[in-house]
Amino acid sequence: MNTNTQKIALVTGATRGIGLETVRQLAQSGVHTLLAGRNRETAVAAALKLQADGLPVEAIQLDVTDDVSIAAAVGTVRERHGRLDILVNNAGIAIDDLTKKPSEQSLATWRTTFDTNVFAVVATTQAFLPLLKASPAGRIVNVSSALGSISLHADPSSFIYDFKIPAYNVSKSAVNAWTVQLAYELRDTAIKVNTIHPGYVKTDMNNSDGEQRGEIEVDEGAKSSVQMALIDADGPNGSFSYLGQVLPW
């Protein structure tokens, strides 16, 4: 068991994109960071590259949609470290058919999206919560999106008004709502729970049809997660923000 005072973080969906960059930036801040991925070999390969740069990164296998995998990961963290200081729920998918209207998206799309973007976040958080409670100051960061803001979607002058990607958008609205519920539960503890918008990032998720979309680079997209993961005792609880700017629910 790791009994030192170095913070221990775990980032889900961390073998590429924003997740991988979040691992890098947390490790650069001196946090011992667990790089979690569904495929162990892929996670190990990604971790080795960061280790070669002298960063305190450790690979861990974790499929957030598999209860057995979640339980195994919790067991590994408990055995190696005895606690978890930071959980970044980064894993997510966007599989809506952009050629279809909101009412035309298949029920399978809705179910698959919610399995990863919502139910997996709840399941992973529930499983790691005992280890977060063992931390002197646990932090939970849920990676959401401005596209989850109901207020912005209802405002014709909003920059996201025409971005109706229903299963993905509504799943992120649910993540925001879950964040508020859990933050309330933990309000009198040392744990803080917040949700962030990474920005419109140039990632594989925004390149699904071969056309690269996004406005900011991945390193910028990881900053909100890292900032919220490292807040002190005076930091927010139950908030939704982008680089410190509060966003509407």
- Residue numbers annotated as active site: 168
Cα separation, 93 vs 115, whole angstroms:
10
DSSP 246: E
Look up residue 216 and give its amino acid. I
The CB density around residue 239, as the number of other CB atoms within 10 Å, is 19
Burial class (CB in 10 A: 0-12, 13-18, 19+), 3: exposed
User: Nearest-CA neighbor of 67 among 119, 130, 10?
Assistant: 119
The widest CA-to-CA distance across the chain, in whole angstroms, is: 54
Tell me which residue of 20, 5, 74, 6 sits closest to 50, measured CA to CA.
Answer: 20
